[in-house]
Chains A and B, each alone.
Chain A
């Protein structure tokens, strides 16, 4: 079923998409994202590399969650879609662990052929 917008008879908007989800405060989300970006840059200069990388990745994960939940409206989606995304992350983790020995177990003095 479709609805015709009252302001313009040519605009056709499917019902499902029109009433599918609400809108969070996008300005606040953008402000938080920019604040986290600034924090990442400051941390990169202040802390030791290992600590900085840990914090920077933590803020990257936080930013990702903010974008997915608010801009992509994942928080309004059914649980099934969370499971799909979680499955992807699980596959990536399995890939990471599977490839890890191949990359890290190679002796350090190995040179590539010319």
Chain B
């Protein structure tokens, strides 16, 4: 049976470290932003069944690969956090480097996917679709680029933040920030967990 912390199920928040508390508030805000987008996407998807024809152009293989990459990078950052608690700086740096590498791989995959889709004429406004009178199809790609683009921006920001924290950890400072960077990274992972089935599987 798993052990739980004594304050579990308590309403007392005084013992929550300030950094964690701040991150949870940030995560709550981000959930509203992405949740709102996902809610609108779902409703339009119900409204326009023909969106599945547009979704058929997305690459399930690249989407699945990116999901594996993000899940594995979530694992590496949590191992970095574990190493930070033990004060093992070299391991923290190795695990954080793996996480940043995962972020790079995600962005490269995404770039390849964007390149393919843009070459097929599917852009943020998709002029070819609009000229053909398919405004509904064009709307799908607007949602697609907003959601994946905003998510990709979060991945990039997470990588930059992680790199800055790595530089601090290298000097033996701010090891507790590894956990905070990890929480942000897990949030990015969570958002992708929902974007993947919406955009890549539900065809």
Chain A residues at the B interface, C-beta cutoff of 8 Å: 5-8, 10-14, 16-18, 20-24, 26-27, 29-30, 33-34, 37, 40-41, 44, 49, 52-53, 56-57, 60, 63-64, 67-68, 71-72, 75-81, 84-85, 87-89, 91-92, 95-96, 99-100, 103-104, 106, 111-112
Contact = CB atoms under 8 A, between A and B. Distances in A.
A22 B87 contact: no
A79 B10 contact: yes
A87 B47 CA distance: 27
B193 A67 contact: yes
Contacts of B179: 17
Classify the interface of chain A: helix, strand, loop or mixed.
Answer: helix
Interface string B1-36: 011110111111101110110001100100110011
B59 interface: no
A10 to B, nearest CB: 4
Contacts of A60: 193-194, 196-197
Interface residues of B, number: 69
A67 B74 contact: yes
5 contacts: A34-B71, A64-B194, A67-B189, A76-B7, A104-B43
A104 B46 contact: yes
B167 interface: no
Classify the interface of chain B: helix, strand, loop or mixed.
Answer: helix
Given A8-B172, A81-B13, 12 more contacts: A10-B172, A11-B172, A23-B82, A23-B85, A26-B82, A37-B68, A56-B201, A80-B12, A87-B28, A99-B39, A103-B47, A104-B47
A37 B71 contact: yes
Nearest to A2: B176
Nearest to A26: B78
Contacts of B135: 111-112
**10 closest residue pairs by CB, A with B:** A10-B172, A5-B87, A92-B35, A17-B176, A96-B39, A103-B43, A76-B5, A16-B17, A30-B75, A44-B201
A41 to B, nearest CB: 6
B8 A78 contact: yes
A76 B10 contact: no
A10 B17 CA distance: 21
A21 to B, nearest CB: 6
A41 B193 contact: no
A45 to B, nearest CB: 9
B17 A37 contact: no
Interface in B30-61: 31-32, 35-36, 39-40, 42-44, 46-47, 52, 60
A8 B197 contact: no
Nearest to B197: A56
Contacts of A103: 40, 43-44, 47
Given A34-B71, A52-B201, A88-B31, A78 B16 contact: yes
